[in-house]
Chain A
Amino acid sequence: ELKVEQNPLFLSMQEGKNYTIYCNYSTTSDRLYWYRQDPGKSLESLFVLLSNGAVKQEGRLMASLDTKARLSTLHITAAVHDLSATYFCAAGQIQGAQKLVFGQGTRLTINP
């Protein structure tokens, strides 16, 4: 059974600092997603990673995937307050199908 674990679950950081959120998954998966969720809102798609070594960047966020280690990371560079949100990773459980298993989420707070 596929399980996805994120750490840390809570992260408070200062603006301008760098940090990384880790996402481990327990069995083979053909794709890894990262989402952002603001309080009371839905999930905003950030990245989808489809192959080993994949790296994607958007602004101050960069995601990578190591399928051999079953690990994905979301790196935040020079954090700004607007990035405060909860970040979820999710792994696809069945190839080609939309059955996603989510991590617990990382609540990120960026302080001025």
Chain B
Amino acid sequence: KAGVTQTPRYLIKTRGQQVTLSCSPISGHRSVSWYQQTPGQGLQFLFEYFSETQRNKGNFPGRFSGRQFSNSRSEMNVSTLELGDSALYLCASGGTRGDQAFFGQGTRLTVV
């Protein structure tokens, strides 16, 4: 069974640019959630999508957005990048019962 796939693995962007990250969940999983990991703030929840609808949202500015497609793949977009957005972005795939959370390899974003 294939795991959670995130692309790209690494990104370098310039301040002010925007970026789109992709996450393909485990086959059959309909929930995709996104997390930001930084040395200073640790792991923080961004948002969760379930059946193409945003079900929960964390405390991040509106520059962070996402969506989910009918095949459960999800994308996360960050606009007007700031240096502080440099982080490891992780997505997690979950089943319908909400008791599973398997993480992808992450996308390491560096903003210069």
Contacts and interface: CB of A to CB of B under 8 A. Distances in A.
Q: What does DSSP make chain B's interface, helix, strand, loop or mixed?
A: strand
Given A98-B33, A98-B48, A104-B42, A42 B105 contact: yes
A69 interface: no
B55 interface: yes
Contacts of A35: 103
Interface residues on B, range: 20 to 34
Interface string B75-102: 0000000000000001010100111111
Interface in A66-82: none
B102 A100 contact: no
A99 interface: yes
A45 B102 contact: yes
Nearest to A50: B99
B43 interface: yes
B22 interface: no
Given A42-B90, A43-B90, A88-B43, A100 B103 contact: no
Given A88-B43, A97-B56, A104-B42, A33 B105 contact: no
Contacts of A31: 98-99
8 closest residue pairs by CB, A with B: A102-B43, A96-B98, A98-B33, A43-B103, A98-B94, A99-B56, A42-B105, A98-B31
30 contacts: A33-B101, A35-B103, A41-B105, A41-B106, A42-B105, A43-B103, A48-B100, A48-B101, A90-B101, A93-B45, A94-B56, A95-B98, A96-B98, A97-B48, A97-B56, A97-B98, A98-B56, A98-B94, A98-B101, A99-B33, A99-B45, A99-B58, A100-B33, A100-B35, A100-B101, A101-B45, A102-B35, A102-B42, A102-B43, A105-B42
Interface of B: 31-33, 35, 42-45, 48, 50, 55-56, 58, 90, 92, 94, 97-106
